[in-house]
Structure 1
Amino acid sequence: MNLRSVDLNLLVVLDALLDEAHVSRAGERVGLSQPAMSSALERCRHLFSDRLLERGGGGMVLTPKAQALAGPIKEVLAGMAALLDRAEPDLHAIRQTVRVVMADLPAVAIGAALQRRLARTAPGITVAVMPWHGAAAALEGLGRGGVDLAVSVFPSVDSDFTRRELLQERYRVAMRRDHPAAAAFDLDRWLAYPHVLVSGRGDTRGPLDEALTRIGRTRHVGMVVPSFVMVPPLLTESDMIGLLPSRCLPERVRGEIVAFEPPIAVEGFPLHCAWHKRRAGDPAVQHVARLIEELVAALPA
C-alpha cells in the first residue's frame, strides 16, 4: 500500500471509534460532528476492507477484525506521539486526562497532595481515578488502552508492561484505643472479639483464616466491607478489630486507634505502579506516575 494515499488522521478517528463503539461519543472525543464521524467511519471501512462496527446487542459492536486492530492502532499512535515528542515536554502546556486505576487507599491518602502537585507542575493534566476491580482487570485495562496507569499488587507482568515497586506494606491489628483487648493484647484477646474483613467480593474468609486453621484456631468475622476507607469508623464505634495494611490508618483517626503487631505471622505485600509500554513516552502519564511514586513512598507506616 502507498502510504501517501492514506490519511493517517483516520487512525486517530478509528482508535476513538473502537474504544467507544459509538459514533457520536467518538466524535465528541476527537472534535468531529456526527456526520463527519460517520463519513470517517466509511473511509475506515474502505481502508481496512471490513465493516469494523456493526449493529448488535442494542448498540454497535466491533467485528473480529476491528478487535484485532485495536491494539496495533494504539501502538502506532503511541509510536507517532513518541516520535513527535522527542523534545523536552512543556508540562504546563499539556492538556490531557490521565486515567489511573487505584484502590480507595492509597487514592484517599494521596489524592489531595497529587492534585496540589499537579496544580503547580502541570495544571492542564486531569487525573481520573477509576475503580479497582483486581490486578487482572487493571492489567486488562492497561492492555486495551482504557487505562493509563494502575496502582495495585502485580506479582508478575509480561514484557508489554512496566512495573515499579512503590513500597512494601505490612499488616497491623487495629482497634479503638479503649478497646477491652488493648490493655494486654495477645492471640486469645485478638480472637475473642469480632473482626471486620475487607473484601470486594463479600468473602467471609481470607488468608488469615487459613493461617489460624493451621494452628487450630478460628476467628469470628462480624462484618465484611468492600473498602478499607470504611474500616476506621467501624473500629472507633464498636468492639470489632481489624487487620489492616499499616498505611490504611488515616492521620485523623490515629489518635483514636491503637495498632499492634499480629500475634501470628501475617505476610505483607508490595504495592506497584504499572503501565503499558505504549505509555512509556507519554510525558503526562510518566509525570503522574512519578508523582504517585513519590507520594505513596512518603505515606507514614
Structure 2
Amino acid sequence: MNISSVDLNLLVAFDALMSERNVTRAARRIGLSQPAMSNALSRLRALFDDELFVRSGRGMEPTARAQSLAMPVSEALRRIEEAIAPALAFDPCSLDRAVRIAMTDNSMAVLLEALILRFRNAAPKLDLHIKNSRAAGMTPMLDDGEIDMAIGVAGELEARHRAMPLYSDRLVGIARRGRFGPQGPTLEQFVAAEHVLVTPRNATGGSLDRELANRGLSRRVFLTLPQFIMAPYAVAKADLVACLPARIALAKAEMLDLEIFEPPVALDDFTVSLIWHGRDDAEPAHRWLRETVADVVREVTALGDADRWPICQTLLGPCRANVPAAHAAAQEHPAEAERVPASA
C-alpha cells in the first residue's frame, strides 16, 4: 500500500471508532457529522478489505483485523500529537469546561476537599462534576464518554484504559475511645461487639465475615451502610465497631473521639488509582488534569501518618497501559492487582 495514496484522516476516524465502538459518539469525538463518520467507515473497510467493525448487542465490536491495527494506529497518532503538543501553549486559567470525575466514597473522603480547592484556584472557569460510582462501573462510564477520569481501585482493565497508582490503604478498626484500649480488642471481644457493615451492593457480609467464617466464627451486624463516610459517626453515636479504610479513620478519629486498632483478623491492602481512557493520553487539558490530581495526592498523603500506618503511602509513578492488565499490574506494583474489599 502506497502511504501517499491514503487519507490519514481515516486513521483518526478508525482510532475514534475503536475507542467509542459507536459511530455517533466517534463522530462527535473528532468533530464530524454522523454521515461523514459512516462514510469514513465505508472507506476504511474498502482500504483494509475488511468489515473492521460489526454490530452486536453492545454496539460495534472490532474484527480481528481491527484489533491488530488498533495499537499501531493509536501509537502513531499519539506520537504525532506529542510532537505537535509542545507548540500548543496550555493555560489552565482558560480552561472553560466541565470536568467529570467518578469517585468511590472512599476516594472522595480522602481527596475531594483538596481537589476542589486546587481546581478552584488553578482553573477558575472550570466546573467540577463528581459522580459517585463503584469501581466496577467506572470503565463503562469512561467508554461511554460520561466521565473524563475516575479515582478508585483499577482492578483488571482493557488495553484502551490507563491507570496511575495514587496511594495504598487498608482496613482498620474503629471504636469509641477507651472501649478496647491501646492493645485493641481480642478476637473474642471483637466478635462479641455490635458492628457496622459497609456494603454498597446490599450484601449481607464482606471480606471480614469470610475471614471469620474460616475460623468458625461470626459477628452481629447491627447496621449496614452503603458508604464508608457515615460509618465513623454511627460508631461514635451508637457505641458500635466498624472496619474502614485507614485514611478515613485517621481523618475522623480525633474529631469524633475514636480509637483506631488493628483488626484481629488479616485483611487485604488495596490500591487507589487514577483511571482514564487512552484516547485522552496526549490531550493537553487532560494531561494537566492528571498532573494536578497527582500533585494533590502527594500533598494529601504527606500527612505524617506513615509511621503509625505504614501502608498509607503514596504510590505515584508512571502511568501504564494495561496489556495485559493483571500482568502489568503485578509487574509494576504488586498491590495494584489487589481489589478493595467490597464491604467490611
TM over 0.5: yes
Structure 1 residues 126-145: aligned runs within 5 Å: 131-134=133-136
Partner of 2:229: 229
Q: What is the letter of the counterpart of residue 104 of structure 1? A: D
Task: Measure how far apart 1:86 and its partner are.
Answer: 4.0
Task: Label 1:75 to 1:139 Cα distance change in 2 as closer, same or farther (>3 A).
Answer: farther
Deviation at 1:62, TM superposition (A): 2.4
Q: Which moved more, 1:276-285 or 1:195-204?
A: 276-285
Partner residue, 2:61: 62
Map of 2:196 onto structure 1? 196
Unaligned stretches of 5+ in structure 1? none
TM-score after normalising by structure 1: 0.71
One-letter code of the match for 2:106?
Answer: L
1:139/1:29 CA distance change after superposition, 3 Å: closer
Contact 2:161 2:276 in 1 (8 A): yes
Change (3 A) 1:208 1:233: same
**1:228 aligned partner, one-letter code:** F
Equivalence for 1:169: 169
Q: Is the 1:171–1:268 Cα contact (8 Å) retained in structure 2?
A: yes
**Helix, strand or coil at the partner of 1:24:** helix
Aligned length, in residue pairs: 294
Distance 1:70 1:226 in 2: 39
RMSD of aligned residue pairs (Cα, Å): 4.4
Give the percent of matched residue pairs that are identical in Structure 1 and Structure 2: 30
Q: Which residue of 2 aligns with 1:20?
A: 20
1:66 to partner: Cα distance: 3.6
Cα distance in 1 for residues equivalent to 2:85 and 2:259: 49
Taking the aligned partners of 1:18 and 1:280, their CA distance within structure 2 comes to 15
1:110 is matched with 111
The answer on whether the counterparts of 1:174 and 1:257 sit within 8 Å (CA) in structure 2 is no
TM superposition shift of 1:43: 2.0
Distance 1:159 1:66, change over 3 A: closer
More moved, 196-205 vs 276-285: 276-285
3-state SS in 2 of match to 1:218: coil
Q: Which amino acid aligns with 1:114?
A: L
TM-score, normalisation: structure 2: 0.64
> What is the distance in 2 between the residues matched to 1:266 and 1:121?
42
Q: What is the Cα deviation at residue 211 of structure 1?
A: 4.7
Contact 1:273 1:289 in 2 (8 A): no
How is 1:210-289 mapped onto 2 (pairs within 5 angstroms)? 211-212=211-212, 217-236=217-236, 238-249=238-249, 255-256=255-256, 258-262=258-262, 264=264, 266-267=266-267, 269=269, 271-273=271-273, 283-289=284-290
Residue 261 (structure 1) shift? 0.9
Contact 1:99 1:149 in 2 (8 A): yes
The CA distance in 1 between the partners of 2:62 and 2:52, in whole Å, is 5
Q: Which amino acid aligns with 1:288?
A: L
Q: Which residue pairs with 1:34 in the alignment?
A: 34
